[in-house]
Structure 1
Amino acid sequence: MQSIPVDTSRLGALMCVVKPEPKIADFEKQEVKKDRDGNTIYTVAVTVRQEGRRVSVIEISVTGEPKGIEEGMPVRVTGLEAFSWSMGDRHGISFRAAAITPVPAAPPSGGGKAGGA
Protein backbone atom coordinates (compact mmCIF):
# COMPACT_ATOMS: atom_id res chain seq x y z
CA MET A 1 0.00 0.00 0.00
CA GLN A 2 1.55 3.27 -1.13
CA SER A 3 1.15 6.40 0.98
CA ILE A 4 0.34 9.76 -0.59
CA PRO A 5 1.31 12.88 1.42
CA VAL A 6 -1.53 15.37 1.89
CA ASP A 7 -0.92 19.14 2.02
CA THR A 8 -3.04 20.10 5.04
CA SER A 9 -2.61 23.81 4.30
CA ARG A 10 -5.01 23.30 1.37
CA LEU A 11 -7.70 21.61 3.47
CA GLY A 12 -9.02 24.81 5.03
CA ALA A 13 -10.63 24.76 8.47
CA LEU A 14 -10.16 21.43 10.28
CA MET A 15 -12.47 20.67 13.21
CA CYS A 16 -12.94 17.58 15.38
CA VAL A 17 -16.48 16.19 15.11
CA VAL A 18 -15.89 12.87 16.91
CA LYS A 19 -13.28 12.89 19.67
CA PRO A 20 -10.48 10.30 19.66
CA GLU A 21 -11.62 6.69 20.02
CA PRO A 22 -9.56 3.49 19.94
CA LYS A 23 -9.72 1.92 16.48
CA ILE A 24 -11.40 -1.48 16.50
CA ALA A 25 -9.55 -4.19 14.55
CA ASP A 26 -12.11 -6.97 15.15
CA PHE A 27 -15.69 -5.90 15.87
CA GLU A 28 -16.80 -9.40 16.94
CA LYS A 29 -14.09 -9.65 19.60
CA GLN A 30 -14.00 -5.85 20.23
CA GLU A 31 -10.24 -6.09 19.73
CA VAL A 32 -8.41 -2.75 19.61
CA LYS A 33 -5.94 -2.19 16.75
CA LYS A 34 -2.26 -1.77 17.67
CA ASP A 35 0.78 -0.65 15.69
CA ARG A 36 3.96 -2.74 15.28
CA ASP A 37 5.25 -1.51 18.64
CA GLY A 38 2.04 -2.40 20.51
CA ASN A 39 0.73 1.19 20.76
CA THR A 40 -3.02 1.69 20.44
CA ILE A 41 -4.26 3.27 17.20
CA TYR A 42 -6.95 5.95 17.63
CA THR A 43 -9.31 7.49 15.09
CA VAL A 44 -10.55 11.06 15.04
CA ALA A 45 -13.35 12.28 12.76
CA VAL A 46 -12.42 15.67 11.33
CA THR A 47 -14.37 18.04 9.09
CA VAL A 48 -12.56 19.50 6.12
CA ARG A 49 -13.90 22.70 4.52
CA GLN A 50 -11.90 23.92 1.55
CA GLU A 51 -14.01 26.72 0.17
CA GLY A 52 -17.61 27.81 0.28
CA ARG A 53 -20.12 25.71 2.18
CA ARG A 54 -18.99 22.23 1.11
CA VAL A 55 -17.80 20.17 4.08
CA SER A 56 -16.43 16.63 4.14
CA VAL A 57 -15.76 14.39 7.12
CA ILE A 58 -12.69 12.16 7.14
CA GLU A 59 -11.58 9.69 9.79
CA ILE A 60 -7.90 9.97 10.57
CA SER A 61 -5.91 7.26 12.34
CA VAL A 62 -3.08 8.23 14.67
CA THR A 63 -0.80 6.24 16.97
CA GLY A 64 -1.42 6.99 20.64
CA GLU A 65 -4.29 8.98 22.13
CA PRO A 66 -4.34 12.62 21.00
CA LYS A 67 -4.52 14.73 24.17
CA GLY A 68 -6.81 17.72 24.66
CA ILE A 69 -9.03 17.05 21.63
CA GLU A 70 -12.78 17.55 22.10
CA GLU A 71 -15.72 17.65 19.68
CA GLY A 72 -16.19 21.05 18.04
CA MET A 73 -12.55 22.03 18.57
CA PRO A 74 -10.30 23.29 15.76
CA VAL A 75 -7.38 20.89 15.26
CA ARG A 76 -4.01 20.80 13.53
CA VAL A 77 -3.10 17.62 11.63
CA THR A 78 0.60 16.90 11.14
CA GLY A 79 2.07 14.43 8.66
CA LEU A 80 -1.23 13.47 7.00
CA GLU A 81 -1.04 10.65 4.45
CA ALA A 82 -3.74 9.04 2.31
CA PHE A 83 -3.84 5.35 1.38
CA SER A 84 -5.90 3.73 -1.34
CA TRP A 85 -7.27 0.31 -0.39
CA SER A 86 -9.47 -2.43 -1.84
CA MET A 87 -10.91 -5.65 -0.47
CA GLY A 88 -12.95 -7.69 -2.93
CA ASP A 89 -15.49 -5.34 -4.49
CA ARG A 90 -15.02 -2.69 -1.78
CA HIS A 91 -12.49 0.13 -2.04
CA GLY A 92 -11.75 3.51 -0.53
CA ILE A 93 -9.19 5.90 0.88
CA SER A 94 -7.97 5.87 4.46
CA PHE A 95 -6.03 8.58 6.26
CA ARG A 96 -3.21 8.42 8.80
CA ALA A 97 -1.41 11.26 10.58
CA ALA A 98 1.72 11.59 12.68
CA ALA A 99 -0.18 13.80 15.16
CA ILE A 100 -3.48 15.58 15.78
CA THR A 101 -3.30 18.49 18.22
CA PRO A 102 -5.68 21.22 19.39
CA VAL A 103 -5.31 24.65 17.82
CA PRO A 104 -4.57 27.17 20.58
CA ALA A 105 -7.35 29.68 21.14
CA ALA A 106 -6.61 33.14 19.79
CA PRO A 107 -6.11 35.76 22.49
CA PRO A 108 -9.09 38.07 22.92
CA SER A 109 -8.79 41.19 20.82
CA GLY A 110 -9.14 44.19 23.06
CA GLY A 111 -8.86 47.71 21.76
CA GLY A 112 -8.07 49.33 25.08
CA LYS A 113 -5.25 48.98 27.56
CA ALA A 114 -5.70 47.19 30.85
CA GLY A 115 -5.85 49.30 33.97
CA GLY A 116 -7.21 52.79 34.43
CA ALA A 117 -5.85 56.24 33.78
Structure 2
Amino acid sequence: MRLRIDTSGTRFIVTRAAEPRLNFETGSPKIDTATGLPQYSVQVLALDDTGGEVLNVTVAGDPNVAVTQPVSVSSLVAIPWAQGDRSGVAFRADAITGATTGAPSGEQGSRTQK
Protein backbone atom coordinates (compact mmCIF):
# COMPACT_ATOMS: atom_id res chain seq x y z
CA MET A 1 0.00 0.00 0.00
CA ARG A 2 1.30 3.43 -0.97
CA LEU A 3 0.01 6.45 0.91
CA ARG A 4 0.22 9.73 -0.98
CA ILE A 5 1.49 12.62 1.18
CA ASP A 6 0.21 16.18 0.77
CA THR A 7 3.36 18.30 0.73
CA SER A 8 1.67 21.66 0.16
CA GLY A 9 2.97 24.10 2.75
CA THR A 10 6.07 21.97 3.39
CA ARG A 11 9.62 23.14 2.73
CA PHE A 12 12.37 20.60 2.08
CA ILE A 13 16.11 21.05 2.63
CA VAL A 14 18.75 18.45 1.74
CA THR A 15 20.62 17.30 4.87
CA ARG A 16 22.74 14.52 3.32
CA ALA A 17 23.91 14.14 -0.27
CA ALA A 18 22.28 11.56 -2.52
CA GLU A 19 23.71 8.06 -2.14
CA PRO A 20 23.10 5.07 -4.41
CA ARG A 21 20.91 2.37 -2.86
CA LEU A 22 22.70 -0.96 -2.91
CA ASN A 23 21.50 -4.54 -2.97
CA PHE A 24 22.32 -5.90 0.50
CA GLU A 25 23.39 -9.32 -0.79
CA THR A 26 25.40 -8.38 -3.89
CA GLY A 27 26.49 -4.79 -3.23
CA SER A 28 25.34 -3.79 -6.72
CA PRO A 29 23.14 -0.72 -7.26
CA LYS A 30 19.39 -1.24 -6.90
CA ILE A 31 17.57 -0.52 -10.15
CA ASP A 32 14.13 1.06 -10.39
CA THR A 33 11.93 -1.41 -12.26
CA ALA A 34 9.73 1.29 -13.84
CA THR A 35 12.54 3.45 -15.27
CA GLY A 36 15.61 1.21 -15.39
CA LEU A 37 17.57 3.92 -13.53
CA PRO A 38 19.61 3.31 -10.38
CA GLN A 39 17.85 4.21 -7.13
CA TYR A 40 19.24 6.97 -4.90
CA SER A 41 18.44 7.84 -1.29
CA VAL A 42 18.35 11.51 -0.27
CA GLN A 43 17.99 12.67 3.32
CA VAL A 44 15.83 15.79 3.60
CA LEU A 45 14.44 17.91 6.40
CA ALA A 46 10.70 18.48 5.91
CA LEU A 47 9.59 21.71 7.60
CA ASP A 48 6.02 22.90 8.12
CA ASP A 49 4.10 24.97 10.68
CA THR A 50 4.31 22.17 13.28
CA GLY A 51 8.09 21.63 13.10
CA GLY A 52 10.46 19.41 11.17
CA GLU A 53 11.06 15.75 10.39
CA VAL A 54 14.07 14.08 8.79
CA LEU A 55 13.09 11.74 5.94
CA ASN A 56 15.15 9.41 3.75
CA VAL A 57 13.52 9.56 0.33
CA THR A 58 14.25 7.17 -2.55
CA VAL A 59 14.16 8.42 -6.15
CA ALA A 60 15.07 6.91 -9.52
CA GLY A 61 18.20 8.51 -10.96
CA ASP A 62 20.73 10.86 -9.38
CA PRO A 63 18.87 14.02 -8.31
CA ASN A 64 22.06 16.14 -8.39
CA VAL A 65 21.25 18.15 -5.26
CA ALA A 66 23.62 19.50 -2.61
CA VAL A 67 23.52 19.56 1.19
CA THR A 68 21.59 22.61 2.52
CA GLN A 69 19.92 23.12 -0.88
CA PRO A 70 16.17 23.85 -0.76
CA VAL A 71 14.40 21.28 -2.96
CA SER A 72 10.98 20.32 -4.25
CA VAL A 73 9.77 16.76 -3.74
CA SER A 74 7.32 15.51 -6.39
CA SER A 75 4.66 12.89 -5.65
CA LEU A 76 5.90 11.85 -2.21
CA VAL A 77 4.46 8.55 -0.95
CA ALA A 78 4.84 6.63 2.30
CA ILE A 79 5.14 2.84 2.09
CA PRO A 80 4.58 0.97 5.37
CA TRP A 81 6.64 -2.24 5.67
CA ALA A 82 7.15 -5.11 8.10
CA GLN A 83 9.79 -7.84 8.10
CA GLY A 84 9.86 -10.27 10.99
CA ASP A 85 9.79 -8.26 14.20
CA ARG A 86 10.87 -5.04 12.42
CA SER A 87 8.60 -2.48 10.81
CA GLY A 88 8.78 1.05 9.50
CA VAL A 89 7.84 3.46 6.75
CA ALA A 90 9.80 3.97 3.53
CA PHE A 91 9.44 7.16 1.48
CA ARG A 92 9.59 7.42 -2.32
CA ALA A 93 9.19 10.33 -4.70
CA ASP A 94 9.00 10.71 -8.46
CA ALA A 95 11.69 13.41 -8.31
CA ILE A 96 13.70 15.68 -6.03
CA THR A 97 14.76 18.88 -7.77
CA GLY A 98 16.30 22.19 -6.76
CA ALA A 99 13.52 24.51 -5.60
CA THR A 100 12.68 27.42 -7.85
CA THR A 101 13.46 30.70 -6.09
CA GLY A 102 10.31 32.13 -4.56
CA ALA A 103 8.14 29.14 -5.51
CA PRO A 104 6.06 27.37 -2.90
CA SER A 105 7.45 24.03 -1.80
CA GLY A 106 6.05 20.57 -2.20
CA GLU A 107 4.92 19.64 -5.72
CA GLN A 108 6.44 22.76 -7.35
CA GLY A 109 9.65 23.06 -9.36
CA SER A 110 10.75 21.79 -12.72
CA ARG A 111 12.32 18.47 -13.57
CA THR A 112 15.71 18.72 -15.21
CA GLN A 113 16.12 16.63 -18.36
CA LYS A 114 19.46 14.99 -19.06
TM-score (norm. length: structure 2)? 0.80
Structure 1 residue 65 and structure 2 residue 62: aligned?
A: yes
Q: Which has the larger radius of gyration?
A: 1
1:96 to 92, 99, 103: 92
Q: 1:8-19 residue pairs with structure 2 within 5 A?
A: 8-10=7-9, 12-19=10-17
The 2-side partners of 1:22 and 1:102 are apart by 19
Identity of aligned residues (%): 32
Structure 1 residue 82 and structure 2 residue 78: aligned?
A: yes
**Number of paired residues?**
101
Q: Which runs of 5+ in 1 are unaligned?
A: 107-117
Deviations 1:20-79 (A, max 9, x none): 1101221x6422111225320001000012225x32110000001113x10001000001
Matched residue, 1:3: 2
The 1-side partners of 2:46 and 2:90 are apart by 14
Q: What is the alpha-carbon root mean square deviation over aligned residues?
A: 1.6
1:46 to 44, 47, 50: 44
The runs of 4+ residues in structure 1 deviating greater than 6 Å are none
Secondary structure of the residue aligned to 1:84 is strand
